[in-house]
């Protein structure tokens, strides 16, 4: 079965078993292409294979747009961030059960983790546009639209791994859905990531690692941290995609940024720099 074929199938049973009704919190079951709880709240799978569990519209500027998602998909397909995906796969190689990717986007990193393990994957993201791609990224992956800042429609202690790559960090929910022996894996840009692009991208706080540990410290103990860093040459197209796919993609009309991107004609040497941190639950 190819990932594209998988996008037309119901969600994998282990993913359905982990989900909860986003109205009442009860377990849900699958009946064909519909998820339904005992109180008869139901959610239909979209044609592309994901399920939307939200009840309200997301404010503008919150969810990745179609152009941002298209830029990210093309950029990641070029292999520029493959070393990061490989490191995440290495860290999660022993994972079984369920990996929950909080802020999964197109499912690129989660699919790589699933390729290296025997686990199933649940991709959570607020962007339905992104999850159209994630739902097709791997046969053992299921995708659900959800706002990560809200209590998740996921059962207690169902995940062996929570994966969080450049996405919002909801420490209480990470802790709740992880098994007692579960692993939290967080990937974040380092301060020198894409520094050569200047104000075309959002600057990374020099104290980001400290803030990360402070944010999660009430619920987790850090057990490891590795750096993934390389110098690469990006084509003008890749530079444009790297800018358009991130938070700066919401602000391209400011300060002539779009014009500067359009004027690029030569390859650009840039630094790709990330940290991958692992945590274990407290309590």
CB 238 within 8 A of CB 272: no
C-alpha 137: how far from chain center: 12
**Residue 79 among known ligand-binding residues:** no
Q: In which element (H, E) is residue 129 found?
A: helix 128-134
- C-alpha 75/C-alpha 84 separation (Å) is 14
**Residue 81 among known ligand-binding residues:** yes
Mapped onto helix, strand or coil, the DSSP state of residue 232 is: strand
Distance, first Cα to last Cα, the chain? 41
**Residue 193 among known ligand-binding residues:** yes
**Residue 175 among known ligand-binding residues:** no
11 Cβ contact list (under 8 Å, min separation 6): 19, 30, 35, 45, 49, 51, 142
Closest residue by Cα to residue 157 from 100, 203, 199: 100
Can you state the percent helix, strand and coil of the chain, rounding each to 5?
A: 30, 30, 40
Evaluated on CA atoms 255, 258, 262, 267, the torsion sign reads: positive
CA distances from 185 to 86, 90, 182 (A): 13, 11, 10
Which segments of 139-246 are extended strands (E)? Answer: 141-145, 159-165, 178-189, 220-234
- Binding site listing: 37, 41, 81, 106-107, 193
- Binding site listing for S-adenosyl-L-methionine: 81, 106-107, 193
- Binding site listing for Zn(2+): 37, 41
């Amino acid at each position: 079965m190819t990932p594209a074929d998988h996008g037309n199938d119901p969600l994998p049973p282990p993913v359905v078993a982990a989900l909860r009704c986003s109205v009442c919190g009860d377990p849900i079951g699958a009946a064909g292409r519909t998820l339904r709880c005992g109180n008869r709240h139901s959610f239909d799978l979209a044609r592309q294979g994901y399920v939307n569990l939200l009840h309200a519209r997301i404010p503008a500027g919150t969810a990745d747009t179609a152009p941002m998602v298209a830029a990210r998909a093309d950029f990641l397909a070029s292999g520029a961030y493959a070393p990061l995906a490989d490191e995440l796969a290495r860290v999660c190689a022993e994972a079984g059960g369920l990996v929950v990717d909080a802020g999964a986007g197109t499912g690129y990193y989660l699919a790589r983790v699933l390729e290296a393990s025997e686990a199933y994957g649940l991709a959570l993201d607020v962007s339905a546009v992104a999850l159209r791609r994630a739902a097709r990224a791997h046969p053992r992956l299921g995708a659900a639209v959800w706002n990560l800042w809200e209590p998740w429609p996921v059962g207690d202690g169902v995940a062996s791994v929570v994966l969080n790559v450049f996405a919002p960090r909801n420490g209480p929910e990470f802790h709740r859905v992880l098994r007692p022996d579960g692993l939290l894996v967080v990937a974040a840009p380092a301060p020198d990531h894409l520094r050569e692009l200047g104000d075309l991208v959002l600057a990374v706080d020099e104290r980001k690692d400290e803030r990360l540990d402070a944010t999660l410290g009430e619920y987790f103990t850090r057990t490891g941290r590795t750096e993934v860093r390389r110098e690469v040459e990006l084509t003008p197209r890749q530079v444009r995609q790297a800018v358009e796919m991130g938070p700066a993609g919401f602000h391209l009309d400011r300060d002539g940024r779009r014009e500067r991107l359009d004027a690029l004609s030569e390859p650009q040497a840039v630094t790709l720099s990330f940290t991958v941190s692992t945590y274990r639950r407290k309590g």
